[in-house]
Structure 1
Amino acid sequence: MIKNILSISFFFLFTLIVQAQSESFFNSYNWDKNPEYSVNPDSTETIIEVKNKVVTEFLFDKEDDLVEFTMEHRVLWLNSDEKIESFNKVYLPYSLTSELLVNKARVITKDGVVKELNDSKILLATDEETGRKYKYFAFEGIEKGSFIEYYYVVKQNPSYRGKRVTFQSSFKKENVEFDLFAPSNLVFKFKSYNGAPEVEQDTLTEDKLHWKLRMSELEGLEEEELAAYDASKAFIVYKLDKNLAGNVSGISSYGNVSQNIYAYYYPEHSKRTQKSIDKFASEATKGAEKTEEALVRKLEFYIKTNVYIADGGGEELEDLDKILDQKVANGTGIVKLYAAVLKSLEIPHEVVFTSNRQNIKFDKVFEANNFLTDCMLYFPNTGAYISPEENSSRYGFPPAYLTDNYGLFVKEVTVGDFTSAVGEIKYIEPVSADQTIDKMTIDVDFEENDLSTTNIKLDRALSGYYGMFIHPFIHLVKEEDLDNFVESFGKRLNENVEIIDKKLVNDDPELFGIKPLKLVLDIKSNAFIEKAGNRYLFKVGELIGQQIQLYQEKERVLPLENEFKRSYYRNINIEVPAGYRFANLDDINIDKEYSKDREEILSFKSFYNVEDGIVHITADEHYRINIIESERYEEYRDVINSAADFNKLTLILEPVE
């Protein structure tokens, strides 16, 4: 979305340039006519990339417009059926806004035979769901030990205010190269991440500027469970910083971005448009209490119920008059709608641009637009966020991977009669664990004449992110599907339980974030009891449902990264049958925690007490931090596996002697 806002800016910078153009790098580039690629014959790898070359070149065309050429040249050694299957199709960056100038591919067998693909093996297909067209190489005749080689050159509109180039993947690479060429007046800046070497300027290149990066070898990075894998790969980000001919600097600065964002989202509206905005605001917040939080909640619910968000970049989807009339907008248009209505309601707010931390962490220092991929609105009076584009998100609970990260906050400022905006980089606080709760209250008694049968009353309350997947949309669910949904919470304990009664509490979708969604079930089952002589084995741990168990055969490399902080509260109350007692209650006691700076941030604690013939069990679990460094992984694993240990807990019910 940020690309749409900024695409019209700064092109005037390049109209200042009138100079002779040097020959493009691509004019003389070609692959070797007689390739001689090799790998260690004793290698046990299933795939090695023996060449990875990426080149980007910015040039002025005949009309003095800046254009961008990108080349990717890869050679991969494939040594397993799985990898051959994975790479028998290689997709090309084909679109209506780009021009594919060169596309060549070939297979080099392990015996050195070269089989070049002809044009019939470069195919065009259409995605049935999106309608998007794409081209791909269709490789044939690949056998174990073969190399596939391909390269292509694409001409496209320039992207120069922040672009990422990722080098690392799951397999080993050799001869990794990156080059960027630019006219002698356009100065780029670079930053390397996750162990990628620094990009250096080549001062020997004449008539143009040239930056390069070289790696003779790059080890693969294995994907690990609960890791921000894409964000952890070695990559670089580059941006255009200066135009020497125009003596212009800070081209990609967030100061300029902030001004563009403000100008786009907060234009001066005509009287007719403003009247429509005010009318929409009144309809959307009708019946809401006159507090900021109540108004924003009502507005968000109204928009996400009545305005359809469409894909695409058509002007009509960003035209506020058409959006107000037709109730259809794209992502950019929906933010314009929120901004206009919030301003009409005089509710202070700020536009926030950030990144998904699973893909890339927002850099506080290096200002580049590739960190500005996702938009939220921030309400400084309450500290809450909303995500205008995400219908699955609600006030106070934005997409969790956009939090625990930094972002660019754009705030309106007024000095005298002049109104503008300033941008500030700030931390986006994640939602605290005490706002996302899965709470279970379970009351258990035994059939008087058949202790193998238990009567269970399950009261389960879901709030925060645990309730958000269903609570705001529950009015849209068919009654039959809703019944199945409620029953599923009983079946999660054991598929063979009998549901006697069930009900939902607080199922008004507008109560999300205010009251938890509660599922109350009466259950009868003999699935939790096994008879052993005159004793009964009660699988009490299974009442909390199956728990995740983490296994780690290798040493953890990447930090562990959860989506959101969370808490679990479980209270199990068991009425002890007359004439019986539980023989091993102390097995309930589990105490695992990890503290940092004297603050408990991860814990699983279960304990009990007995009062008036009832055993009261508490089993609480807290994750008050999202990102855990690899050296602390074992502490996390101990805590989460403790819940799995509790799930295996069996109490022995025996006669009182």
Structure 2
Amino acid sequence: MKKTITCWALLFMAPLLLAQESPFYKNYSWEKIPKFSVQVPDSTSILGLKDKIITEFLYEGDNFLEYFLEHKALWLNSDDRIEEYNKIYLPYSNTSELLISKARVIKPNGQIMELDDSKILTAEDEETQSVYKFFAFEGIEKGSIIEYYYLIKRVPEYSGRRLVFQTYYDKQDVSFDLYSPSNLIFQFKSYNNLPEMVRDTLTENKLHWKMHADKLSGLEKEELSPYNASRAFVVYKLDQNLANNTRDITSYGKVSQNLYNYYYTKIDKKVQKKLNKFLAEAGVKADMEQNKLLRTLESYIKTNVFINESNSMGNELESVLDQKVASSKGLMSLYISLFNTLDIKHEMILTSDRKDLKFDKEFEAHNFLNEFLFYFPKTGKYMAPTDSDSRYGFPPAFLTDTYGLHIKEVAVGDFKSATGKIEYINPVPAEETVDRMIIDVNFNHDDLTKNTVKLDHSMSGYYALYIQPYIPLISEENRDKLLDEFAKRLDENADIKSKKMLNDDPALFGVKPLQFKIDFESEAFVEKAGNRYLFKVGNLIGKQIQMYQENERKLPLENEYTRIYNRTININIPKGYRVANADDINIDHSLLQDGKKVLLFKSSYEMNGSQLTITADEFYKINKISQEFYDDYRSVINGAADFNKVTLVLEPES
């Protein structure tokens, strides 16, 4: 493989030929007779006996390259694990070359079966046409060890890379080594209790950093946990080139300036005229109130501009305006050019999905800069320009409640530039995502096991996000089914008498809640028991989840977004009857932080003559719950499930 070095890459190369030892892989191999030790309970199904990664950056003539080696050994002790690992996939792309690939099976009796080249197979994905290679192991039996390593040569990745070492099973002998020319200084940071990288001062003619852990405990997934973000991993980046005195190579200051120079370019008159035409087609006017303007503009773009990453012309602004087809870069250029045309002050944000990788405000590395957002200081709201499923004010929720790099334009006279600053991306307040139910219930005078129910169900924010903006795309038949579904959630055999949808205009998303009004008759809520009637009032709010936890919680819990549920149930008690157990309605669970309730489920009632009014309020005003407060969270969640089980006893008045 031969790659031409770009001028940008030359900034990080030595202007001199530096003395350097031969690449590490020249002397690398596995032990001819392996000496693995397995001492685990009989119930153990898998154990990592070796997990080693080595990467080396070096110069070869005019090329700057990376050699990456991964060496693993796994003890497999169940049919499920054997099936899971009988194929091992190898990295393979048009920017890399697979140089070495070796694999073998070590049976419980010590017999070693090395795979020949015929067991390294190539396949193609029919949908994506991407090609991949894999080891096809044979002869694995319970108690066998599979061992393999491979080496690839590739275009270097050095601006910020994460290597994850922890998975669901225990590991032994975990290590990572990084070698570089003596002029290239790397920085490292370990996360989630992985040992820190240390410099090996004995290596000559090149730099060497290493990490080793004798043991690394497995980490099981837990419900609603940020599992990937919680696993042990290391992030590394190239920081300095001593040969040409280049420092802070991966700094966010340089990222901010580079992105500003790329996206905030001067628009010529021809393209500006097309931008003005685009705004007219979108129905956008400069004197609109900013919230309405941004909703209108975003809705038009996301319903009229098609994203196609493979379209090379999709990066060019004029092409995007002409063809209504854009890559992510082209889409960013379109938004920014339109904002500037309308003189809308905004900030570009780069961040990462907090459930997968938490943005580290202390360690600057490009692997944290995965997703784009815009922030509008005037309104305090965010927009996700390249996410077609989100809408202004409600960006992908896992990109909020975390840190991000805010890139702001600064001007000194006629000179304009950009500055980057790490700031917190606030979550959307719970008060903007509300699920509200008002339910009126009457009993049939002739047969008290029958009810008429009037359901008024409204939803806003994230609850409405996947319906309200897309109403025009839903056929009449499917709209009917959607309305029916809200009644069927309470009683799958509901006899629906009338139904209507309100605020079903996409322009009202974020302005007014989407509302469903449904009248139906039901025989699902009441059972006769002698001279009493059992009224399953809890079923009127729909089925609620219940959380169980047999083992001690190890990971924090993170919700996607904060939210509120308000439920009011008005019940006209039949004449001649009373509620014998109304106090069963009273449920109260909450969590206080800094003197404020941040989690709550509370149900209560009032009796006014023959009308029983029940309120069941529930809210989650924080997303992140540490293990310490997990039981409090679970009690709130289960409070709704407990209400679900409430059955009122209607007995004759004495």
TM-score w.r.t. length of structure 1: 0.97
The more displaced of 259-268 and 351-360 is 259-268
Q: Which residue of 1 aligns with 2:272?
A: 274
CA contact (8 A) 1:288 1:298 kept: no
2:155 to 139, 154, 157: 157
1:339 paired to 2:318: no
Cα displacement (A) at 1:497: 1.8
Q: Which residue of 1 aligns with 2:125?
A: 127
SS at match of 1:120: helix
**Structure 1, unpaired ranges of 5+:** 1-6
SS at match of 1:296: helix
1:363 paired to 2:360: yes
Partners in 2 of 1:353 and 1:13 — Cα distance? 24
1:618 paired to 2:615: yes
2:592 to 577, 592, 595: 595
2:434 to 413, 427, 437: 437
What are the within-5 Å matches in structure 2 for residues 233-312 of structure 1? Answer: 233-286=231-284, 290-312=288-310
CA contact (8 A) 1:288 1:294 kept: no
Partners in 1 of 2:625 and 2:203 — Cα distance? 45
CA contact (8 A) 2:14 2:243 kept: no
AA in 2 matched with 1:580? Y
Distance 1:586 1:478, change over 3 A: same
Distance 1:103 1:613, change over 3 A: same
1:140 to 121, 125, 138: 138
CA contact (8 A) 1:354 1:407 kept: yes
Could you list the structure 1 runs, at least 4 aligned residues long, displaced by more than 3 angstroms after superposition.
7-11, 285-289
Cα displacement (A) at 1:287: 6.6
Partners in 2 of 1:450 and 1:389 — Cα distance? 56
What are the within-5 Å matches in structure 2 for residues 67-466 of structure 1? Answer: 67-286=65-284, 290-312=288-310, 314-466=311-463
AA in 1 matched with 2:119? K
AA in 2 matched with 1:539? K
Percent of pairs with identical residues:
54
Q: Which residue of 2 aligns with 1:39?
A: 38
Partners in 2 of 1:398 and 1:560 — Cα distance? 21
Partners in 2 of 1:151 and 1:161 — Cα distance? 25
Cα displacement (A) at 1:141: 1.4
- Give per-residue Cα distances to partners, 1:266-306, cap 9 Å, x unaligned: 12222222222222223224478611111111110000000
AA in 2 matched with 1:91? Y
Q: Which residue of 2 aligns with 1:526?
A: 523
SS at match of 1:451: coil
Cα displacement (A) at 1:41: 6.3
Cα displacement (A) at 1:578: 1.3
Cα displacement (A) at 1:18: 2.8
Q: Give the superposed CA RMSD.
A: 1.4
SS at match of 1:249: coil
CA contact (8 A) 1:462 1:517 kept: yes
CA contact (8 A) 2:11 2:246 kept: no
Partners in 2 of 1:142 and 1:452 — Cα distance? 62
Distance 1:253 1:633, change over 3 A: same
Cα displacement (A) at 1:42: 4.5
Corresponding pairs, count: 649
- Give per-residue Cα distances to partners, 1:95-143, cap 9 Å, x unaligned: 1121111111111111111112222222222223333221111111111
SS at match of 2:450: strand
The more displaced of 355-364 and 482-491 is 482-491
AA in 2 matched with 1:38? S
1:639 to 632, 636, 639: 636
Distance 1:300 1:84, change over 3 A: same
1:58 paired to 2:57: yes
Partners in 2 of 1:285 and 1:220 — Cα distance? 55
CA contact (8 A) 2:433 2:463 kept: yes
The more displaced of 40-49 and 241-250 is 40-49
SS at match of 1:160: coil
Partners in 1 of 2:212 and 2:599 — Cα distance? 42
- Give per-residue Cα distances to partners, 1:462-507, cap 9 Å, x unaligned: 1111110111112112222222122111111122222222111111
Q: Which residue of 2 aligns with 1:551?
A: 548
Q: Which residue of 2 aligns with 1:3?
A: none
Partners in 2 of 1:295 and 1:645 — Cα distance? 45
SS at match of 2:11: helix
Cα displacement (A) at 1:154: 1.2
Partners in 1 of 2:341 and 2:104 — Cα distance? 61
Partners in 2 of 1:360 and 1:201 — Cα distance? 26
AA in 1 matched with 2:81? K
The more displaced of 482-491 and 117-126 is 117-126
CA contact (8 A) 1:444 1:574 kept: yes
Distance 1:653 1:67, change over 3 A: same
Partners in 2 of 1:568 and 1:415 — Cα distance? 49
Q: Which residue of 1 aligns with 2:3?
A: none
- Give per-residue Cα distances to partners, 1:541-600, cap 9 Å, x unaligned: 000011110101111111111100000000000011111111111111111111111111
Partners in 2 of 1:173 and 1:567 — Cα distance? 42
Cα displacement (A) at 1:10: 4.7
The more displaced of 122-131 and 638-647 is 122-131
SS at match of 1:342: helix
TM-score w.r.t. length of structure 2: 0.97
AA in 2 matched with 1:432? P
1:477 paired to 2:480: no
The more displaced of 129-138 and 501-510 is 129-138
- Give per-residue Cα distances to partners, 1:32-74, cap 9 Å, x unaligned: 22223230165431100000000111011222x2111111100
The more displaced of 216-225 and 30-39 is 30-39
Q: Which residue of 2 aligns with 1:652?
A: 649
Partners in 2 of 1:181 and 1:590 — Cα distance? 61
CA contact (8 A) 2:19 2:205 kept: no
**Structure 2, unpaired ranges of 5+:** 1-5
CA contact (8 A) 1:594 1:635 kept: yes
AA in 1 matched with 2:592? S
What are the within-5 Å matches in structure 2 for residues 17-28 of structure 1? Answer: 17-28=16-27
